[in-house]
Amino acid sequence: MRTLREIKKIYENKEANVKEVVESYLEKIKEWEPYINAFLHIPYEDIEKQIKELESKSPNLPLYGIPIAIKDNILTKNIKTTCASKILENFIPPYDATVVKRLKENGAIIIGKTNLDEFAMGSSCENSAFGPTKNPWDIERVPGGSSGGSAACVSAGEAPISLGSDTGGSIRLPASFTGVIGLKPTYGLVSRFGLVAFASSLDQIGPFGRTVEDIAITLQIIAGHDPMDSTSSPYEIPNYLEGLGKSVKNWRVGIPKELWYKGVSEEVLKTLENSFGVFKEMGVTIEEISLPSLEYALPVYYIISTSEASSNLARYDGVKYGYRDFTAEDLISMYKQTRGKGFGSEVKRRIILGTYALSAGYYDAYYLKATKVRRLIRIEFEEAFKKVDIIASPTSPVLPFKLGERISDPLQMYLTDIMTIPVNLAGIPAISMPAGFYNNLPVGIQFMSSFFTEDKLLQFAYAYQQFVDFSKKYPTLPNKERV
Ligand code: GLN
């Protein structure tokens, strides 16, 4: 249960070796997993191999001997990658995603694959085919989704850092619900090669951690151009650690009236009230701004993301890889039965919606129109960032809710992402920081900044964490009786 800097110190002072540090996390996993189910698999044999391979590497590598958990929609060579779907239940990728490759090259140890909503579709982690992850702060509540496992494992201290993916909020929402930090980088900053595609124009990989410094260290490794991803940006990557600790005095913070108050629960607003006092202490100025087209963000997102999903998920047909239904008598029924049995109901709902939105006669009315409104949303953010440096909002309109509470009402579930979705549509970066607790349940605040200004965003978040720091606050292990 340490920061990366603290783990580094342990190695420098020779207080423990990599095996011992990794084992201390595996111990935590053993303690917590019966309660929270954050992991889908722990590759014990592969971990041994990774530790062995590290022996020949330099201890000065930035992530030397750092255990990291990876969302199970990011490919890991020789380690099962299921997307929490039955259709990929036994899929073992033949190669590593670029982010995984970079982490390993920099000394990290992949300690496990984390649970998610099937194919990253959901906001609660309940859509996993392998059972939900639970919130370590209250195991009757959801950890948020879709990267619920990656968030919960950092929250419980099972891993110091992890990776998730964020298409409409899947890093920031669970970060908020579990009291940790989660960053969604600018679209194109981090390679998507080896991330199982959900909605390709929105998907981004990003880190979870407990301190802004840990987030910056991890981002530094995973960001940067990748020739294997044609949407990856060719820009040079700044040093994300340089700005940490520098003053943000007189920075302008925009408060969009569309994202505060309306539709936000009393509990969340009450908990975030003190943020304005914190902003004052940070020496920044607060300006109310307006982003009127955000009203359309949710419908636009659910047209674009389902359309892209319907196309991306066409590849799971029982022929190339993954599950195949062998009881079928001919090819067409093999397709039907494989997809019918392999996908869960939320995934099917998205495929049906997306196929409809893209079908002849409806394409112009739905998909094309949605892409135009998306453009307007992006322009509105661009205009806003001419006036302010940072935009702040709650990360979620509600507290972590109970398991089962929203699962039967997709619209209620979709509304959980109302604060995070506009960011993906625009393509800008955003971070969720733990801002306070309400009845021992975490509440997050979201900071957004302009395209490719993660350096500024992290500088701001770091300054904020000097005043509001929950990096050492951990949930306590539930009593055995409560299970
Ligand atoms: N909850 C949103 C959805 O279900 C976002 C998911 C995500 O970011 N992967 O689509």
CA distance 377 to 236: 27
3-state secondary structure at position 323: coil
Q: How confident is the model over 112-140, as pLDDT tens digits?
A: 999 999 999 999 999 999 999 999 999 99
Catalytic residues: 71, 146, 170
Q: How many residues does the chain have?
A: 483
User: Can you tell me which residue has the tokens 């039967």?
Assistant: 408
Q: What are phi and psi of 172, to 5 degrees?
A: -70, -40
Q: How confident is the model over 191-243, as pLDDT tens digits?
A: 999 999 999 999 999 999 999 999 999 999 999 999 999 999 999 999 999 99
User: Can you tell me which residue has the tokens 């997307």?
Assistant: 83
Contact 248, 280 (CB under 8 A): no
Contact 148, 118 (CB under 8 A): no
Non-local CB neighbours of 133 within 8 Å, separated by 6+ positions: 36, 37, 38, 114, 115, 125, 142, 143, 148, 149, 152
CB-ligand 1 contact for 123 (6 Å cutoff):
yes
The distance of Cα 6 from the centroid of its chain, to the nearest Å, equals: 24
Cross-strand partners of 209: 181
On the question of a cis peptide bond just before residue 146, with omega within 30 degrees of 0, the verdict is yes
Contact 337, 328 (CB under 8 A): yes
3-state secondary structure 186-206: CCCCECCCCECCCCCCCCEEE
pLDDT for residue 262: 82
CB-ligand 1 contact for 206 (6 Å cutoff):
no
Contact 446, 323 (CB under 8 A): no
Judging by DSSP bridges, how do beta strands 390-394 and 285-289 pair with one another?
A: unpaired
3-state secondary structure at position 393: strand
3-state secondary structure at position 208: strand
- Alpha-carbon torsion, ordered 119, 121, 125, 128, to 10 deg: -40
Q: Which of 77, 181, 61 shows the shortest CA–CA distance to 458? A: 181
3-state secondary structure at position 252: strand
CA distance 418 to 415: 5
User: Can you tell me which residue has the tokens 């909002």?
Assistant: 393
Q: What single-letter amino acid sits at 313?
A: L
CB-ligand 1 contact for 120 (6 Å cutoff):
yes
Q: Which residue among 73, 114, 121, 304 has the greatest number of ligand 1 atoms within 8 angstroms of its CB, and so is best to mutate? A: 121
The distance of Cα 22 from the centroid of its chain, to the nearest Å, equals: 23
- Mean pLDDT for the chain? 97
pLDDT for residue 483: 46
pLDDT for residue 275: 96
Q: Which of 110, 50, 49, 29 shows the shortest CA–CA distance to 75? A: 110
Q: What tokens appear for 141 in the block?
A: 């509540």
CA distance 44 to 112: 9
Contact 461, 429 (CB under 8 A): no
Q: Give me ligand 1 centre to Cα 120, in Å.
A: 6
CA distance 176 to 432: 6
User: Can you tell me which residue has the tokens 């009757």?
Assistant: 140
Cross-strand partners of 8: none
Q: Give me ligand 1 centre to Cα 7, in Å.
A: 33
Give the CA diameter of the chain. Answer: 70
Non-local CB neighbours of 476 within 8 Å, separated by 6+ positions: none
Q: Give me ligand 1 centre to Cα 117, in Å.
A: 9
User: Can you tell me which residue has the tokens 């607790």?
Assistant: 437
pLDDT for residue 480: 58
Rg (C-alpha) for the chain, rounded Å, is: 21
Q: What tokens appear for 467 in the block?
A: 């005043």
Instruction: List the domains of the chain with CATH numbers.
Output: 4-253+385-482 (3.90.1300.10)
CA distance 363 to 372: 13
Non-local CB neighbours of 49 within 8 Å, separated by 6+ positions: none
Start-to-end CA distance of the chain, whole Å, equals 23
> Can you give the pLDDT of all 483 residues of the chain as single tens digits?
699 999 999 999 999 999 999 999 999 999 999 999 999 999 999 999 999 999 999 999 999 999 999 999 999 999 999 999 999 999 999 999 999 999 999 999 999 999 999 999 999 999 999 999 999 999 999 999 999 999 999 999 999 999 999 999 999 999 999 999 999 999 999 999 999 999 999 999 999 999 999 999 999 999 999 999 999 999 999 999 999 999 999 999 999 999 998 889 999 999 999 999 999 999 999 999 999 999 999 999 999 999 999 999 999 999 988 999 999 999 999 999 999 999 999 999 999 999 999 999 999 999 999 999 999 999 999 999 999 999 999 999 999 999 999 999 999 999 999 999 999 999 999 999 999 999 999 999 999 999 999 999 999 999 999 999 999 999 999 975 544
Q: What single-letter amino acid sits at 240?
A: Y
CB-ligand 1 contact for 322 (6 Å cutoff):
no
Q: Which residue among 116, 126, 127, 170 has the greatest number of ligand 1 atoms within 8 angstroms of its CB, and so is best to mutate? A: 170
Q: Give me ligand 1 centre to Cα 306, in Å.
A: 10
Q: Give me ligand 1 centre to Cα 283, in Å.
A: 35
Q: Which residue among 73, 114, 117 has the greatest number of ligand 1 atoms within 8 angstroms of its CB, and so is best to mutate? A: 117
User: Can you tell me which residue has the tokens 């990776």?
Assistant: 163
DSSP 48-115: HHHHHHHTTS-TTSTTTT-EEEEETTB-BTTB---TT-GGGTT---SS--HHHHHHHHTT-EEEEEE-
CB-ligand 1 contact for 306 (6 Å cutoff):
no
